[in-house]
Amino acid sequence: MWVSTIMLNYAYSDGDLLETPQTYRYSSFQGEAFVDAWRTSRLSACAHLPAPALPALHPQGLAHAGDSTALLSHLCLEMRAGAGVSGPLASYWLPRLLKKFEVSKRLYAGYEAVAPHRPLLHGSYGSTQPYLLLAECMLHGWQASGAAYYLSGLLKLTDTLVSQQGRLAPDQGAYLAWLLTQEQQLLATVAREAGL
C-alpha cells in the first residue's frame, strides 16, 4: 500500500511580520502535519540562534507607559519574582499590552499614560526587545493561570520574533532561543496532559 506524506510549510513566521503582520484569519485545521511543520520551523530557527539564555534584567528608572521596554522589563522582573498575573504591574498592564499586540501584531516604543493608551506620536514598532519581554511575560502568565490567551499570545509573539531573527543582537538571539525552548517544553506538557 502506498501512503502519501505531505510536508507542510509553517508559514506563520515567514516574511517580515513587523512590516506585514500575520492576521491568523481563516486558518484551516491541518492536524498533526501542521504541528510537525510548526516544530520543524522552530527547530530550524533554533539551529541559527546562539545557545539559549535568559537575560538578567536591569531596568532603568520607573515603569511607565512612555517606555515599553522599561515597563516590560519591570513587568518581567515582577513576574520572575513570583507575583504571577496578580502583581501590581501585571494585573493592569499585562492584559493591555497583550491586547495592543493582538490587535495590531505590533508593540510600540511607548504609549500614552492614560487609557486607552494609544501609541505615542511618531513612535516606532521596530525594536525587538519589547516583543521578547512580552513573550516572556506570556510564559509567566500561562504558568500562573493556565489561561489560553497567554499561550496564544506567546505563539504569535514567537512567530513575529522568528521572522526577525536576522535582526537580533547575539544576546537577543540567545533570549529568543530560550523562549523557543520554553515554548517547546510548554506545548509538550500541554499535549501530554491532553493525552495527545
pLDDT digits (tens, 9 = 90+) for 109-147: 999 999 999 999 999 999 999 999 999 999 999 999 999
Cut 0.85: pTM above it: yes
Find the mean pLDDT for residues 25-36: 79
The residue range of the domain holding 58 is 31-193
**Within-domain flag for 15:** no
Higher-pLDDT residue of 76 and 29 is 76
| For helices 148-163 and 88-104, angle between their N-to-C axes, nearest 10 degrees | 60
Q: Would you tell me how many other CB atoms lie within 10 Å of the CB of residue 16? A: 12
Q: How far from 188 is each of 28, 181, 184, CA to CA, in Å?
A: 22, 11, 6
Judged against a pLDDT cut of 60, whether residue 1 lies above it is answered with no
**Within-domain flag for 3:** no
**Within-domain flag for 186:** yes
Percentage of the chain with pLDDT > 90?
A: 79
Q: How far from 93 is each of 14, 88, 118, 194, CA to CA, in Å?
A: 29, 9, 13, 31
- Are 40 and 185 contacting, i.e. CB atoms less than 8 angstroms apart? no
Please enumerate in sequence order all residues whose Cβ is within 8 A of that of 194, keeping only pairs 6 or more positions apart, or say none.
none
Q: Average per-residue pLDDT in the chain? A: 92
**Within-domain flag for 19:** no
pLDDT, tens digit, for every residue of 156-176? Answer: 999 999 999 999 999 999 999
Nearest residue to 72 via CA among 99, 94, 103, 101 = 94
**Within-domain flag for 127:** yes
- Are 164 and 18 contacting, i.e. CB atoms less than 8 angstroms apart? yes
Q: What angle do CA 83, 151, 21 make, to 5 degrees?
A: 120
pLDDT, tens digit, for every residue of 33-59? Answer: 888 899 999 999 999 999 999 999 998
Percentage of the chain with pLDDT > 70?
A: 96
Taking CB atoms within 8 Å and a gap of at least 24, the contacts of 52-60 are 52/174, 52/177, 52/178, 52/180, 52/181, 53/171, 53/174, 53/175, 53/177, 53/178, 54/136, 54/175, 54/178, 55/171, 55/174, 55/175
Cell digits of residue 110: 511607548
How many folded domains does the chain comprise?
A: 1
**Within-domain flag for 21:** no
**Within-domain flag for 89:** yes
**Within-domain flag for 100:** yes
Q: State the pLDDT at residue 5.
A: 53
Radius of gyration for the alpha carbons in the chain, expressed in angstroms and rounded: 17
